[in-house]
Amino acid sequence: MRQLDDRPLSEENTLKCELAGEILRWFGTLRLQVTGHSMLPSVWPGDVLLIERCGFGQVSGGEIVLYTREGKLFAHRVICAAADVEGSRLVTQGDAMPVPDFPISASEFLGRVSQIVRAGKCSEPASVLSFPNRLVANVARYSTIAARMLVHIHVTGGNSRKREALC
């Protein structure tokens, strides 16, 4: 297990999550580069997400939100709101994930994705997947090998593309 300053990796991840939350609380925006493929094809590894602070109750179905759980950050799409004895919750799911996430609480919620930066261009995240994007998401959802191939094609096809932009 890799360590930083004699702290286990899980503690390092927890500190990153806490820092992301503090930046959003203090400054209202945060930029994060995506490393996973759970949101294919809406969000690709290497994309930069602009997250804005907002209230837990201000989020609508279809929006992509950032939350923290078990020392990790997740940017997934809200599929519905729910409530239980502990209060309001949001049910999220990665576009390329086969099942919804365990519902998130207000304490896990960090903010909403307002922009996606890809190849130097900013765009607002779509709240509904187009038919071709739904097909890609389904392929990635049910085949890890296909998801890896899609990411490889995406990355190798864009090595010369500009990665940063100001939104």
For the chain, which domains are there? Answer: 3-156 (2.10.109.10)
Each residue's pLDDT tens digit, 22-60: 999 899 999 999 999 999 999 999 999 999 999 999 999
Each residue's pLDDT tens digit, 6-30: 445 578 888 888 899 899 989 999 9
Give dist(CA 22, CA 17) in Å, integer: 9
Q: What does pTM read for this prediction? A: 0.86
Each residue's pLDDT tens digit, 89-147: 999 999 999 999 999 999 999 999 999 999 899 999 999 999 999 999 999 999 989 99
Give dist(CA 45, CA 37) in Å, integer: 6
Give dist(CA 90, CA 164) in Å, integer: 31
